[in-house]
Amino acid sequence: MIDSSGANPPPLESRSVFQVVVMWKYRRLLALVLCLIIAILGTLLVKNYQDKQRVIAFNQHLDAGIAFLKKNQLDQALIELNTAIDILPQEAKAYQQRAAVYTAQKKPELAIADYSKIIQIKPVEPDAYAGRAGAYFDLMKYSEALVDYSLAIQYDPANAVFYFNRGLVYAHLQDFSKSIADYSKAVDLKPDFTNAYVNRGLAYANIGDFNQAITDYNKAIKLKPGFDAAYLDRGVAYLNTNEYSLAILDFNLVIDLRPDLAAAYYFRALAFEAKSQLDKAGSDWQKVLEFSEDAGMKSEAKNHLAKLNP
């Protein structure tokens, strides 16, 4: 009986030569395809293994670099981070840490190059713009710093430090109104930001609003009672409002905290002179000569001493 289901191939002796050749070619093609699939899978497995090994090596060198950076062993940190970057040149984290090393080494140009690489990899990374802005600031390229801090704020508008740092840039550009606005935003976002109150006070002082400056210094002192810079700046504000006794009290506090701070003796000497306490003023001018490294301040101290002791 003839089987018409087609489930079993006809016996070999009943096949034509053409059918045999086709079957052979088909089986050969199938074998080649299987070999190709196996080869591709093998290559992918090898690549996957190699990629994992690169990631492991990258992280090892990155972690070592960070550890050396924390210990301030900058040359060793740089070696490790350079190696990490060689392994994975498109990984932003290593550039971030290397930029920190360059900043610590006072090499802002190299830091700028690394922050720029991070921005190339991650165009909306706010910390990279802020880092590059800081490097521009160190180079006194304030216009460039302003652009980058503004971009950092655009991508992270809730970051108080970014506003504070942009406020510093505006202050260096003598734009105190914008500086005050940025410091105000910083304390809105971070109400215990003592440096922002002090710097806003300085900005107010620079536009002649000493009473508002004193208010900000008071806020800083309330938040941080041992903050010597706040006492010093408040003392200067009192000096400018002819509150000489209050100024002297603040300068006394600063000297208690920092007995070798020439600026405190300098301003206290001015306050003593204003109160006609000339012996005390003379003693302070001598302290200025002892502690100051600023040629202009020392010259002024000598002039005052010459007038006190003709």
The H or E element containing residue 273 is helix 262-274
pTM of the model: 0.81
pLDDT score of 289: 97
Is the pLDDT at 7 greater than 80? The verdict is no
Every domain of the chain and the residues it spans: 42-157
* Residue 49 token pair: 């293994």
pLDDT score of 2: 41
- Helix-helix angle 92-104:74-87, to 10 degrees: 160
CATH code that applies to domain 42-157: 1.25.40.10
* Residue 217 token pair: 């210094």
Residues in the chain: 310
Please write down the long-range contacts of 204-211, taking CB distance under 8 Å and 24 or more positions apart: 204/176, 204/180, 205/233, 205/236, 205/237, 205/240, 206/171, 206/176, 207/176, 207/177, 210/237, 210/240, 210/241, 211/241
The H or E element containing residue 108 is helix 108-121
% pLDDT > 70, the chain: 89
Least confident of 18-22, 50-54, 242-246, 253-257: 18-22
Mean pLDDT of the residues in the chain: 91
| CA distance to 39, 64, 98, 154, per residue, from 193 (Å) | 61, 33, 28, 21
Is the pLDDT at 8 greater than 90? The verdict is no
d(CA 125, CA 162): 13
User: Mean pLDDT throughout 7-11?
Assistant: 52
